[in-house]
Structure 1
Amino acid sequence: MARKVGRAIHLVCSTTVALALLLLLGAGYGPVPALGTALVPGGGVWASSSARTTVRTETLTLPELEEPVRVSFTAEGYASIEARTDHDLFLAQGYVTARLRLTQLDLQRRMGQGRLSELVGAAGLESDRFELSLGLARTARARWAAIPENSDSAKALTAYSEGVNSWMSSLRKTGEWPTIYGLTGVRPRPWTPTDTLVVQGVLTQQMNFNTIPLDYELLNRSLGPELTRTWFPVQAPTAQRPYDPGPYRNLPPTPLTVRNTNAADPDAAPTTPARPTPRPASAHKDVALPDSVRQLDFNSNAWAANGPKAAGGGAILAGDPHLQTTLPSYWFQVSLRSPGYQVTGGSLPGVPGVLVGHNKHISWSLTNAQTVGTLYYREKLSPDRPDSYYWRGAWRPMEKAHYTIPVRGGSTEDLTVDLTVHGPMMTVLDQKVSVNWMGNYAHNDLNALLAANRASDWTSFRTALRGWKAPALNFVYADDRGHIGTLLAGDVPQTPKGSRPWLPLPGTGTADVVGTIPQEALPEAYDPPGHLVASTNQRPTGPDYPYFLGTTMNFDPGYRQAVIERFHSERRGLRTEDYTALQNDVTDDLAVRLLPALLTALDGSGLTARQRAARDLLTTWDHTMGADSAAASVWWTFLDSYVHEVFQPWWDRKKVPADKDRWILDLDRSPIPLREALEHWTLDDPDNAAFTPPDGARRDAPQAMRTAFRTAVAELTDELGDRPAAWTWGKLHTREIPSITGAPGLGYEPYADGGNPWTVDAAGGELNSSFGPSFRLVVRWTGPGSAAAAAIYPGGQNETPGSAWYDNLVALWRKDEYLPLRPPNDAADTAATWSLRAGD
């Protein structure tokens, strides 16, 4: 019923959508509290309800343009921009993106700036306190100040801002603001280059900020150091699948040459500060870590093949970054053409250029490198001077960052953040630490992205990405000359030998960052003899790599990598349709590895009739997590039960505080290191002591598996009935695409679907998953300068629910159908055209 209501809302006109929002938000919902007087008839909400939602052919005047610009749209809403100058290209990109995604742009920058509360009231305070404490806005301002005025990035940022502001200027004249601004009476401020850098920082945070050292500290305190080292090791006990197997260079770390913009000045002279005056209780608050920040991306795929594996002997690339799927999407598909650029693919709303896609000669996609990017320091604080800390032999005063948080419908809140040389002081997972995060350094990553957009071969692409610092990403590459490659780009901090960066480090100066991994020593592969490069968030190097990249908590165990490699080992002459099929593959490689051991353990074990029926499902199963597969439900429920059967007694006895960070420590999420441990013990060490509960009778892996299997069958019977053949995976597992507003009627409601967190077509998070392939891309090079490309993403180009382009791409995405990735000069299938011209 909810799904039907949601679809009805999407199909009606914008006036009805505005009325639906009144009903949803009048009493408050999710992140948006009750809106009170904003709903009084005659207010701004009624003006916004008449805003146009259909893109039609028209001529528009943008004062800041230098020359005319043509913008064309396909029937599905994909935009293509052709400009005579690079300035006009990015101005038009900003204008088009703002016209279709203004609310998303504003919400993203508000989140990064710590100004959500100004729009949504007290519900935004937790997020605002966190973001202001971490300091994304401070970093963005410092980055903008450091960018040379005549650089490509400065020009692109300025032009993009002009385009966004041109659309907002029109809205100020017409009053047709997006509904949320009519409801609240709040208006978005003019866009600035700093805002784009804030939006870029938000993505960096979502991909690169984590709490892993603090989780290790919680495990050390509860499990103890020995079990923590054994069950959550730095290097996994199972075989890994690095894309760079070595040999490796061992070079000195590269010093960081730019400042941490959210840290105290390390060159300031130490002082002995006077006893501080007590601050008002409201002036300083410990900040909570929002759930959105704890979510880790373990599920992106990118691979490329060439030579005999690719049709025609050229090169073919596939990529599907996995992020939260939302309406509107993280992505805005666009084609860009000007004297300096001819590129098409997925852009990030708020950021000029294209993040994944292809130009005339090269194609690329990316995955999260998962490397260490967040270090925590336990500062030595003075007992009688709480605002001072001890570093390098002297007591030093903390610097202060002062903020005010406007709260709609409430009082303005003051926030003071203490800064040490390592970063801001924060209380995270109940631990008071300073935070040194690579996203807080004043680098110019946008310049690197724009240079990559213009690159024409591996050398120029690799050179461009030398300037990419955060987040650390794996870029996978293929070009029109048949070459393929992958490399890790970004800063990976290194601390002195003997320090343990997977734990909170001492803040006295003995474990400070000494630099980053040198560019020449970062993992990469180019035209390997196996004709395949693939990155799936796995550890990119072998165990003899001389630098610290992270622990088993950081990296994917390689199940998707194994499926991709096996697929390529069995095929030649691959075409686009082969790669779209692989992107939608739901084979569970952990089941491939462990299922024989389970079936052996169940042989002759005196199963009941229902247990035998469940076992029989597994004997003929093809290891795929299809929505219609009952065996998939048996396997998943068994694995969950197996994890709990082995580890829950230890968690209970040792009092592991899983509630402190359910994303990492909760057994319901089957933490990656524990899955790897179970795989290793089951296959290679079935008598491991972990199988025996504390103070329990001795047992081995087969005994634990039998108990877990019986528990799983009982759970499935309780939930799905007494017929194992009817226990289809789709009854347990669903996907949804929620609205960024949190309003259920505006999201794509849950539907039965296949996959799990470690299938190629991944579904991360809960059994009702909203994480998965956020942008599927396939590029096949058919000759010099000639590419056949296709893409799809689960969403639509327009954020307005009344638009035909709101969620029109979801049905295609669900059916595994792709649309041509339109090159910038392709006039086919044009449904509407905007002729942009300069003028007053």
Structure 2
Amino acid sequence: MTMPRKPPRRIRRGLDLAGGLLLAVAVLVPSFVGVAGLPALGDAVNPGSGVWRLAADAGRAESEDIALSGLAKPVTVSFEDSGLPHVRAENDEDLFRAIGYVHARFRLSQMDLTRRQGRGELSEVIGPQALESDRFERDLGLRRAAERDWAALPAGDPVRAMLLAYSAGANDAIGGLTRSGRLPTLFKVLGYEPAEWTPVDSLVVQRLVGQKISFDDQAVRFSYAREALGQKIFDEWFPAVPANKQQPYDKGPFKKLPLAPLPISAFPDDLAATPKPVAAGESKPVPVRAAGLAKSMEPLRERLGNLPEGAVHAMGNSNAWVVAGSRTESGAPILSADPHLPHSLPSVWYQIEGTSPGYHFSGATTPGLPLPLLGKTDHFSWGLTASQRPTTLYYLEKTDPARPGQYYWKGGWRRETTLAEPIKVRGQAAVDHKVRLTAHGPILQVEGRPISVWWAGTLPSENLRGVMNLLRAKGLDGFRDSLRGWATPALNFAYADAKGNIAMLNVGVAPQVTGHDPALPLPGDGSADIAGSIAFDALPSSVNPPEGYIVSANQRETTGDYPYQYSTSYNYVERGWRDGEIVLRLAQDAKLSLTESAQLQTDWHDNHARQLVPLLLDALKGVQLTPVERRVADLLARWDYNATPDAPQPAFFDSFKNRLSWVTFQPWWTHHRLAQDPDQALLPRNPDAGAWANETLRGTVTSWVQKDRDNPFFSLPDGTKRNATDVLREAFRQSVKRTVGKYGEDFAKWRYGTYQSVLFPSLAGLSALDIGPYPWGGNPRTINASVGTRDDAKGNPLSNLATAGATMRFSIDWGTGKAETVIAGGQSENPMSPWYGNGISLWMKGRSWPVVEGAAAEKISTVKWKATP
């Protein structure tokens, strides 16, 4: 699902730092007039003048000779007009050193503030506005996990050598920019110089990227619904497998293998292995009560709701498909992938080609990390989608007010482990912070009942080693084996190779909890401790299936008879809209071309409307309609379900999809006294608002309309009988009234693009540096997803201002050898650079840059850097 998280109340856009960020309105807006410790900038922050011109990457890049200490041999970096670089080295470590240098030259602000967020050190340069973020990251423990991983790498380890080389290259850039007075503008704004880059920083960035797409709070949110509805109704409304038609890529038969070992704490060293019991005494633990459970979790929900955007996973991520040669024009596999994340300037991605004796790849890197996360080698290509299964488990710890600092676990009282982590704060004294750890993990809720979290993102990780091995693999077997040590985030790797193979592999730990639902809060007394993880060879996968295609679009990867605890409909599982539409297109008999596959990434057909509108029109047959209602019905009958900017029908369906859920479920929400969670994101505020529960229930009500038209929940709690036809008609009438009332009776004024737009926000928090908004199409359910993540001035979601979607697109045809890509946000973070946001025009037109490599890239490159020791 692509329902956005409600922006945090206190910070809003101010600290959107996860996975790629710069700064914030919390700092830059005050700086116009000057506040303590910050300069008054005024017009200096305008994009066409002032401090932006002082940075090294302002204006067009030029050819240079560069000194990189520690190089074994010279390295060349060639840039296309688009800003896409090609790094050629005669030594593997030189390659990573040069990538570190290039990243820091074009994305140093992004790199520095990203590591600061992950380390919990933003307050040191931003001030007290960032304390909530810093406290949370200190508790979660990304820095501690990164330091542990670095300490575990022995001398001579290839991963260690790679990280050292990357850090050295980044530091060469930092040193040169500092000495020349040409540091990126935001360092000047904040008045500090960046520290040297370290391997631990890269490991922190790696974990922060994982946090963005795997640390979630759905268990907390849906505890409110489960408590109010009771287990039986909750399971009917929010089943494990979404109720409407699904398209799992692994349909079985499934392997049932013994669970792989998995620690009950990501930081066993902090807990001295097993926490030792303390004297029993006379007191007893506070019992777990069913009633009031959600109420007891409000402080945690409030805390998570006040974090920066990106700190908590908030939307389904990405499409990827692979098509076998039997279904393509070229006779060889085609792969297409487009990760969905918040749009930003600069982008979370940095496209690069790297060549050395041991490596050759073209792909998308994240500044701060030396390796591509998706792309191609000479032998295969791969893409990624997020697997929407629980890897964040919440534990309700048993405590006693008479025993402060203790909790009850496995029949005895245990003492918390505490870590003192003072936080430096700009303009004031350091703030004392104490991390509290139980056997399950850090305590995130300290008010009232302690609640701890087990998150896979701080487990020991072999991810970087896996990607290094992946890049050296020669085919499918090596590719798969390279991912065996992958810990988190849980991902689907789409794969296509030059030999004709296609595959989809689910990877990452999958915690199993005997007798309990890990997708809801768990008792912390030891009865719900993790029993292990699904074994790698039992995770969902598909290799060369008979249908000749594999699709992953955040849908549940398996059928309901998968023999393990897996995702639920109330995680972030797509309801079958995007994957259903992709499967519909790929299943056609016509042979697929690279152009057609790339165009499919830009498709706005709404599969939800494709399923519901015919049923609605059928329900309206024989009904006395008003003239306006008849005109709307006729309009829908002529719709091809394409949510383009010119179409009027999406304006109506945007209301109808919400009204259908409201008319069906709102009476029952009221009857069961289902309350909002503290950030008011569980339930819709009005009949036309989206919300997590509403989004989740779309699949449920669609299934009932299709297959269970007399479902008792169509009727009212007072006994008034209704069926699917009654609900469809009522939702239709309400939606006509609402749409006509909002846009008038002239359907020409219903053009979707008059109120649906896309915006590419500057992560500096300055609207002058944004690009857009532009009229746009699509919605969270279309292949070309358009997702709103902003609130208006009154705190209401701006669902029709798309600020998230496909952040890059990548497609390759192994028959023709052609590949193409586009990164909307461009390659540079400086608005004075021609490479700032320069992919947006192509992205909006559904076009891309060709992926050019090797000698061909040298011929078309217009800027060349030569680096020597």
Q: Normalised by the size of structure 1, how large is the TM-score?
A: 0.91
**Secondary structure at the residue paired with 2:782?**
coil
| Equivalent residue in structure 2 for 1:520, among 521, 529, 537 | 537
Question: Offset of 1:40 from its aligned partner?
Answer: 5.8
Give the superposed CA RMSD.
2.5
Question: Whole-Å Cα distance in 2 between the matches of residues 258 and 24 of structure 1?
Answer: 38
Greater mean alpha carbon deviation, residues 632-641 or residues 571-580: 571-580
Residue 830 (structure 1) aligns with: 861
Residues 339/562 of structure 1: CA separation in 2 closer, same or farther (3 Å cut) = same
**Secondary structure at the residue paired with 1:176?**
coil
Residue 798 (str. 1) matches residue 816 (str. 2) = no
User: Which amino acid is 2:554 matched to?
Assistant: N
Question: Whole-Å Cα distance in 1 between the matches of residues 448 and 246 of structure 2?
Answer: 34
**Secondary structure at the residue paired with 1:366?**
strand
Alignment of 1:240-255 (within 5 A): 240-255=246-261
Question: Offset of 1:37 from its aligned partner?
Answer: 4.6
Residue 280 (structure 1) aligns with: none
Residue 105 (structure 2) aligns with: 99
Residues 584/222 of structure 1: CA separation in 2 closer, same or farther (3 Å cut) = same
Residues 429/725 of structure 1: CA separation in 2 closer, same or farther (3 Å cut) = farther
Residue 8 (structure 1) aligns with: none
| Equivalent residue in structure 1 for 2:608, among 590, 593, 596 | 590
Residue 695 (structure 1) aligns with: 718
**Secondary structure at the residue paired with 1:159?**
helix
Alignment of 1:41-56 (within 5 A): 49-52=53-56, 53=58, 54-56=60-62
Question: Offset of 1:110 from its aligned partner?
Answer: 1.1
- Deviation sequence 1:739-788 (CA, Å, 0-9, x none): 112221111232211111111111124221211111100011127xxx21
**Secondary structure at the residue paired with 2:38?**
helix
| Equivalent residue in structure 2 for 1:779, among 812, 827, 830 | 812
Check whether the contact 1:48–1:177 (CA below 8 A) recurs between aligned residues.
no
- Deviation sequence 1:333-362 (CA, Å, 0-9, x none): 000000110000111111111111100011
User: Which amino acid is 1:373 matched to?
Assistant: T
Check whether the contact 1:492–1:516 (CA below 8 A) recurs between aligned residues.
yes
Residues 477/95 of structure 1: CA separation in 2 closer, same or farther (3 Å cut) = same
User: Which amino acid is 1:728 matched to?
Assistant: R
Question: Offset of 1:442 from its aligned partner?
Answer: 1.5
Check whether the contact 1:265–1:421 (CA below 8 A) recurs between aligned residues.
no
Question: Whole-Å Cα distance in 1 between the matches of residues 395 and 845 of structure 2?
Answer: 48
**Secondary structure at the residue paired with 2:174?**
helix
Residues 368/664 of structure 1: CA separation in 2 closer, same or farther (3 Å cut) = farther
Residue 351 (str. 1) matches residue 373 (str. 2) = no
Residue 631 (structure 2) aligns with: 613
| Equivalent residue in structure 2 for 1:151, among 151, 157, 164 | 157
Check whether the contact 1:25–1:34 (CA below 8 A) recurs between aligned residues.
no
User: Which amino acid is 1:669 matched to?
Assistant: A
Greater mean alpha carbon deviation, residues 177-186 or residues 284-293: 284-293
**Secondary structure at the residue paired with 2:99?**
helix
Question: Offset of 1:565 from its aligned partner?
Answer: 1.5
Check whether the contact 2:467–2:482 (CA below 8 A) recurs between aligned residues.
yes
Question: Whole-Å Cα distance in 1 between the matches of residues 769 and 541 of structure 2?
Answer: 42
Question: Whole-Å Cα distance in 2 between the matches of residues 760 and 251 of structure 1?
Answer: 35
Residues 35/103 of structure 1: CA separation in 2 closer, same or farther (3 Å cut) = farther
**Secondary structure at the residue paired with 1:38?**
coil
Residue 756 (structure 2) aligns with: 733
Residue 649 (str. 1) matches residue 682 (str. 2) = no
Check whether the contact 1:287–1:428 (CA below 8 A) recurs between aligned residues.
no
| Equivalent residue in structure 1 for 2:91, among 85, 88, 109 | 85
Residue 28 (structure 1) aligns with: 30
- Deviation sequence 1:132-175 (CA, Å, 0-9, x none): 11111111111111223322211111111111111111122122
Check whether the contact 1:465–1:489 (CA below 8 A) recurs between aligned residues.
yes
**Secondary structure at the residue paired with 1:722?**
coil
Question: Offset of 1:295 from its aligned partner?
Answer: 4.2
Residues 572/80 of structure 1: CA separation in 2 closer, same or farther (3 Å cut) = same
User: Which amino acid is 1:601 matched to?
Assistant: A
Question: Whole-Å Cα distance in 2 between the matches of residues 22 and 732 of structure 1?
Answer: 27
Question: Offset of 1:377 from its aligned partner?
Answer: 0.9
Greater mean alpha carbon deviation, residues 695-704 or residues 773-782: 695-704
Question: Whole-Å Cα distance in 2 between the matches of residues 216 and 631 of structure 1?
Answer: 33
User: Which amino acid is 1:813 matched to?
Assistant: W
User: Which amino acid is 2:625 matched to?
Assistant: L
**Secondary structure at the residue paired with 1:778?**
strand
Greater mean alpha carbon deviation, residues 243-252 or residues 669-678: 669-678
Residues 662/793 of structure 1: CA separation in 2 closer, same or farther (3 Å cut) = farther
Question: Offset of 1:643 from its aligned partner?
Answer: 1.5
- Deviation sequence 1:94-125 (CA, Å, 0-9, x none): 10011000011112111111112222222212
Question: Whole-Å Cα distance in 2 between the matches of residues 72 and 485 of structure 1?
Answer: 33
Question: Whole-Å Cα distance in 1 between the matches of residues 698 and 451 of structure 2?
Answer: 30
Question: Whole-Å Cα distance in 1 between the matches of residues 741 and 695 of structure 2?
Answer: 28
Question: Whole-Å Cα distance in 2 between the matches of residues 260 and 779 of structure 1?
Answer: 38
Residue 580 (structure 1) aligns with: 598
Residue 322 (structure 1) aligns with: 340
| Equivalent residue in structure 1 for 2:701, among 673, 678, 683 | 678
Question: Whole-Å Cα distance in 2 between the matches of residues 187 and 699 of structure 1?
Answer: 67
Residues 431/770 of structure 1: CA separation in 2 closer, same or farther (3 Å cut) = farther
Alignment of 1:255-294 (within 5 A): 255-256=261-262, 260-261=266-267, 264-272=271-279, 287-289=303-305, 290=307, 291-294=309-312
Residues 165/48 of structure 1: CA separation in 2 closer, same or farther (3 Å cut) = farther
Aligned length: 803
Alignment of 1:282-431 (within 5 A): 287-289=303-305, 290=307, 291-427=309-445
Question: Whole-Å Cα distance in 2 between the matches of residues 314 and 661 of structure 1?
Answer: 49
Residues 743/430 of structure 1: CA separation in 2 closer, same or farther (3 Å cut) = farther
Residue 69 (structure 1) aligns with: 75
Residue 499 (str. 1) matches residue 516 (str. 2) = yes
User: Which amino acid is 2:822 matched to?
Assistant: I
Residue 468 (structure 2) aligns with: 450
Residues 459/581 of structure 1: CA separation in 2 closer, same or farther (3 Å cut) = same
Question: Offset of 1:557 from its aligned partner?
Answer: 1.6
Check whether the contact 2:319–2:554 (CA below 8 A) recurs between aligned residues.
yes
Residue 278 (structure 1) aligns with: none
Residue 768 (str. 1) matches residue 801 (str. 2) = yes
Residue 4 (structure 1) aligns with: none
Residues 259/375 of structure 1: CA separation in 2 closer, same or farther (3 Å cut) = closer
Question: Whole-Å Cα distance in 2 between the matches of residues 73 and 292 of structure 1?
Answer: 31
Residue 628 (str. 1) matches residue 655 (str. 2) = no
Greater mean alpha carbon deviation, residues 427-436 or residues 127-136: 427-436
- Deviation sequence 1:444-500 (CA, Å, 0-9, x none): 21111111122110000001011211001000100011111111011111112x222
Residues 661/39 of structure 1: CA separation in 2 closer, same or farther (3 Å cut) = closer
Question: Whole-Å Cα distance in 2 between the matches of residues 695 and 528 of structure 1?
Answer: 50
Check whether the contact 1:297–1:368 (CA below 8 A) recurs between aligned residues.
no
Greater mean alpha carbon deviation, residues 822-831 or residues 802-811: 822-831
Question: Whole-Å Cα distance in 2 between the matches of residues 104 and 163 of structure 1?
Answer: 16
User: Which amino acid is 2:732 matched to?
Assistant: F
Question: Whole-Å Cα distance in 1 between the matches of residues 404 and 250 of structure 2?
Answer: 47
Alignment of 1:67-216 (within 5 A): 67-216=73-222
Question: Whole-Å Cα distance in 1 between the matches of residues 238 and 319 of structure 2?
Answer: 24
Check whether the contact 1:85–1:339 (CA below 8 A) recurs between aligned residues.
yes
Residues 514/201 of structure 1: CA separation in 2 closer, same or farther (3 Å cut) = same
Question: Whole-Å Cα distance in 2 between the matches of residues 428 and 559 of structure 1?
Answer: 40
Question: Offset of 1:661 from its aligned partner?
Answer: 4.9
- Deviation sequence 1:518-577 (CA, Å, 0-9, x none): 011111111111111111111111111111112112321222222212212224432210
Residues 663/136 of structure 1: CA separation in 2 closer, same or farther (3 Å cut) = farther
Residue 691 (structure 2) aligns with: 669
Question: Whole-Å Cα distance in 1 between the matches of residues 26 and 304 of structure 2?
Answer: 28
Question: Whole-Å Cα distance in 1 between the matches of residues 265 and 446 of structure 2?
Answer: 23
Check whether the contact 2:264–2:454 (CA below 8 A) recurs between aligned residues.
no
Check whether the contact 1:576–1:778 (CA below 8 A) recurs between aligned residues.
yes
Residue 564 (structure 2) aligns with: 547
User: Which amino acid is 2:511 matched to?
Assistant: P
Question: Offset of 1:434 from its aligned partner?
Answer: 0.7
**Secondary structure at the residue paired with 2:115?**
helix
Question: Whole-Å Cα distance in 1 between the matches of residues 190 and 441 of structure 2?
Answer: 35
Q: Normalised by the size of structure 2, how large is the TM-score?
A: 0.88
- Deviation sequence 1:803-830 (CA, Å, 0-9, x none): 1111111111001111111224431321
